[in-house]
Chains A and B, each alone.
Chain A
């Protein structure tokens, strides 16, 4: 089942993020048991995959547990709202501090990047912003299709 309405997701820190995912599964979706979870991790937010998965498993022990977790990396893509140019993070030349700021709040990318063609800061993050819950299988999950 595809959770279209849950695709835009948090870019909170890994632990806070894992907590948000679990509360969504067990509270919002009403899962009693989660057998399989598919997550998308946006390149822009640069979530530490290992820390996130550790946090998810650790916090899940206090809730209903969690089964197999699949993670899909999603490339960050941008589209300029002024000239229509599309580009990715490759060669963007972001520094460490800039990446950290974007890690906390992905929309901060509008400060640190501008359109390579026209220089506009008014661009759309087409994909790869933050975390997305793509799919879940389990007992009692009220999935919105």
Chain B
């Protein structure tokens, strides 16, 4: 379906400067996708990797809160498209630049339009890693980025975030099944709010044949560090995501 849309014609070119596209997903809300996506991009930049972060939670973007950005048009640079600003070393794009962080009421086809628009217009610099944050659910934003990235990018992978809650695990299992059936490349699971003990996440990983890439401990200091990337990287959560990068590269 995308191929009949002129925007799709240029998206492959736009993503060509990116080595790896890492989609962070979970059908269950509140498991920490946004924090983990943003921290992964920040940790990669902290390692000296060229890193980017794309927030595709269109109706409720929050990565700018993690990064400490007041979103607005003044942050973007126009150069035959849009050059994403660098925030603490991370090339960053979010729909919040265009909405001023206000609520965006969108339905299915409109979400696809926004994604195609942003992917077609954004001129990413050379990146080793682009982390993509997605909204909860297995709907338009998640399906669109999975379809597009897997169709036109040579190295797109999915990280599924879950907690040890049975509800989150069930949601993760459903998504992993869809990813497996569709032949998408799954990088593995990230357990958030981990206690350190063996949990249902290990059982899920074994059952689905995927790896647990990182265990991010519950960190009561995380909330206070939101908006302060250097402080975030020093939290237990930030340090734990070094594990993830070590597994990916």
CA distance A115 to B111 in the complex (A): 20
A101 in contact with B98 (CB, 8 Å): yes
Interface residue ranges of B11-50 to A (CB < 8 Å): 13
Interface residue ranges of A10-26 to B (CB < 8 Å): 10-13, 15-16, 19-21, 23-24
B117 in contact with A13 (CB, 8 Å): no
CB within 8 Å for A100 and B73 given contacts A8-B113, A15-B80, A110-B105 = yes
B75-88 to A contact mask, C-beta < 8 Å, 1/0: 01010111000000
Within 8 Å CB of A89, what residues of B? none
Within 8 Å CB of A20, what residues of B? 6-7, 9-10, 120
CA distance A6 to B117 in the complex (A): 15
Q: Could you tell me how many residues of chain A have their Cβ less than 8 Å away from some Cβ of chain B?
A: 38
B105 in contact with A121 (CB, 8 Å): yes
A13 in contact with B81 (CB, 8 Å): yes
CB within 8 Å for A23 and B6 given contacts A15-B81, A108-B104 = yes
B9, B13, B81, B106: the one within 8 Å of A24 (CB): B9
Closest 10 CB pairs of A and B: A23-B9, A15-B80, A16-B81, A12-B121, A121-B105, A24-B6, A10-B7, A5-B4, A101-B98, A20-B6
B87-107 to A contact mask, C-beta < 8 Å, 1/0: 000000001011110111111
B99 in contact with A108 (CB, 8 Å): yes
A21 in contact with B106 (CB, 8 Å): no
B8, B102, B110, B120: the one within 8 Å of A111 (CB): B102
- Say yes or no for B116: interface residue by CB 8 A criterion: yes
Chain B interface secondary structure, helix, strand, loop or mixed?
helix
With both beta carbons as reference points, the residue of chain B lying nearest to A122 in the complex is identified as B105
- Say yes or no for B5: interface residue by CB 8 A criterion: yes
B118 in contact with A105 (CB, 8 Å): yes
Q: List 20 A-B contacts (CB under 8 A).
A: A6-B4, A9-B7, A10-B117, A10-B120, A16-B81, A16-B121, A23-B13, A28-B3, A104-B97, A104-B98, A104-B117, A105-B95, A105-B114, A105-B117, A107-B104, A107-B110, A110-B105, A111-B104, A131-B6, A144-B4
A12 in contact with B114 (CB, 8 Å): no
Within 8 Å CB of B78, what residues of A? 13
A111 in contact with B99 (CB, 8 Å): yes
CB distance from B141 to the nearest CB of A (A): 12
CA distance A110 to B105 in the complex (A): 6
Most buried by B among A20, A21, A129: A20
CA distance A103 to B25 in the complex (A): 29
CB within 8 Å for A101 and B104 given contacts A13-B80, A27-B9 = no
CB distance from A23 to the nearest CB of B (A): 4
A101 in contact with B105 (CB, 8 Å): no
With both beta carbons as reference points, the residue of chain B lying nearest to A120 in the complex is identified as B105
Within 8 Å CB of B107, what residues of A? 81, 122
A104 in contact with B99 (CB, 8 Å): no
CA distance A15 to B175 in the complex (A): 38
* Given A12-B10, A24-B6, A105-B98: 10 more A-B contacts, CB < 8 Å: A6-B4, A8-B5, A10-B6, A10-B116, A12-B117, A12-B121, A16-B120, A21-B6, A101-B97, A105-B114
